[in-house]
Amino acid sequence: MTQPKKLFIKTYGCQMNVYDSERMAEAMGGQGYVTTDSPDDADMILLNTCHIREKAAEKVYSELGRYKGLKTAKPDLKIGVAGCVAQAEGEEIMRRQPMVDLVVGPQSYHRLPDLTAKAIAGERALDTDFPEEDKFEHLKARPKAARGPTAFLTVQEGCDKFCAFCVVPYTRGAEVSRPANRVMTEARDLVERGVREITLLGQNVNAYHGHDGGLAGLIRELATIDGLERIRFTTSHPNDMDDALIAAHGDCDKLMPYLHLPVQAGSDKILKRMNRSHTAEQYLKLIERLRAARPDLHLSGDFIVGFPEETEADFQDTLALIEAVKYGSAFSFKYSERPGTPAAERPQMDEAEKDDRLQRLQALLTRQQRELQDAMVGREVTVLFEKPGRMPGQMVGKSEYLHAVHVSGASLARGDLAKVRIVSSGPNSLKGELIPGEG
């Protein structure tokens, strides 16, 4: 009996890359590959890369260097690079790393089986096109294996905003939305296999236009699926948060009261230099409208410090915006140049000043996060349990606000949805007790 070939995928970056890796594994499953957790016994290694973080390309080259010995020991081992670094630097990767057999961009990974066949035949394969065909329609149907209680589902890709710091429009292309009927089919399939919560993904997900009612219309249609208990979406742009989506946060019970809505900065000067196309006041008024619709809404954001031309006064404006909003969680970074973006051509700030500002900003965000988490003590939340905890008899899951919650000594299983009373707050999670009658 022929042994199945083994595929090792290392995923970098955002949830969309996690979703893409799942689909690539499924595509290769149709070619007789099974996934493995170790590169050492793999017949094919695939790096699914992200270009958002600092020195992303160099980190990929460093990772590839670790596999040089494996490639020498196993000449038939195939090594591929996928994702946004592949899109941005495909030919350069081929030039710098002769050990790489194939490079495929994020819009072309449905062609991965054909590229693999070329590599096996001894031909180095490169595909970083933006094909006209819908890659999702060309992928093999998902296998019917059981799934965990949560899943990602990509509904939109690309971005037309062209923020001055961002490479996404160049690596993922223009905004494209999947038709609602195809999203619904995939969602029903996920629910049939045990999924109870779906997070809709997109580089600019609230620009989704594959449904007549936009993202709000898609969410409302998804809410009609029996067995689907929770809906989330990420990542959003303030300019595409329309009236219908705000209303959905108030009256769609399955849409969770958690929203990731990046602003990046609180200074109008810096927002303009970033090409964000909104002001700090417009963002704050949008938050007011969202909280009027859903008063218990927890907000998450993204912040960049040390953007070119940012003064201390500009930075203080960002701190003031954070104080006004009160975030439940946030991601914050020092600005770093991305070749080919407008901001990379501007005079750069001193790194020590960037470090100082990042530390001050993160201290404020950490304080806010802890205050909001501590305020959950005594409250009742609904938790979707996902996995066993570190302690015997412990289960861990997420509340509707995306807090990690652990419960011990209760009769709970993966996929259970139960009411829990929060009894204490730790650094990164909440401790809860099952409300009688829920277990």
Beta carbons within 8 Å of 362's beta carbon, 6+ residues apart: 332
Contact 83, 48 (CB under 8 A): yes
Closest CA to 162 of 204, 200, 129: 204
What distance in Å separates the CA atoms of residue 33 and residue 51, rounded to the nearest whole number? 27
Contact 257, 297 (CB under 8 A): yes
What distance in Å separates the CA atoms of residue 190 and residue 149, rounded to the nearest whole number? 9
CA dihedral 141, 143, 148, 149 (to 10 degrees): 40
Secondary structure string (H, E, C) spanning 286-303: HHHHHHHHCCCCEEEEEE
Contact 50, 17 (CB under 8 A): yes
Contact 264, 304 (CB under 8 A): yes
Binding region: 14, 50, 84, 159, 163, 166
Residue type, 326: K
Within a 10 A sphere around the Cβ of 273, how many other Cβ atoms?
Answer: 20
Contact 67, 101 (CB under 8 A): no
Binding region for [4Fe-4S] cluster: 14, 50, 84, 159, 163, 166
Residue 359 has which token pair?
Answer: 């530390």
What distance in Å separates the CA atoms of residue 163 and residue 271, rounded to the nearest whole number? 9
